[in-house]
Chain A
């Protein structure tokens, strides 16, 4: 089954404690992306990747890092999380940047 898998689904943590949200897709997609969703703001793109070792900033990259060492994986790293990064995060992938995206089920992060 074609899917995008995010882990963890829920996480409560404290300010400053580094965390990584993993994302994996099994569709051999070249394009992967991270979004955050906040009430009233819709989805905002954090980072995207066109292919292995090719990443670029979206609209709200501050405070986040990503890497794309393998085609299937695109982890999101919060080096020093702060409360304003409390949000619902989605990973998505598509065959190319212009094509419709497949979304994961989301990761709800709470940073105290």
Chain B
């Protein structure tokens, strides 16, 4: 079953605007990771946030984590056409089965030049 669920499924914005994607999950996690996928290509890791962290930044990316609500958000500021891609969250559980990584269904982002 899918643990991570991204919202929205698709998002279309103008270049320069900010894009926010959300991820909800169901079980206790060790960390949550965000990945990007260009059409038909392999996923590329963007940022990892641990369960004891609330916010993390990397360049134009800002990730927040609310473990009480079991949710995370990815904010891309000042978007560019090159940010057009699908974005996935992945959860790593805190239990003994920490090897079992669960990906969400993804948010498809289109940035219009």
Total contacting residues, chain A, CB less than 8 A: 28
A59, B40: Cβ atoms closer than 8 Å: no
Secondary structure type dominating chain A contacts: strand
Q: Which of B41, B99, B102 contacts A97 (CB 8 A)?
A: B99
A42, B2: Cβ atoms closer than 8 Å: yes
Instruction: State which size class the interface on B falls in.
Output: 20 to 34
Across chains A and B, the number of contacting residue pairs, with CB separation under 8 Å, is 64
Tell me whether A103 is interfacial, beta carbon within 8 Å.
yes
Instruction: Specify which chain B residues have a CB less than 8 angstroms from the CB of A45 in the assembled complex.
Output: 100-103
Alpha-carbon distance between A88 and B42 when the two chains are bound, in angstroms: 10
A2-22: CB near B (< 8 Å → 1, else 0) gives: 001000000000000000000
Most A-side CB within 10 Å, residue of B30, B43, B105: B43
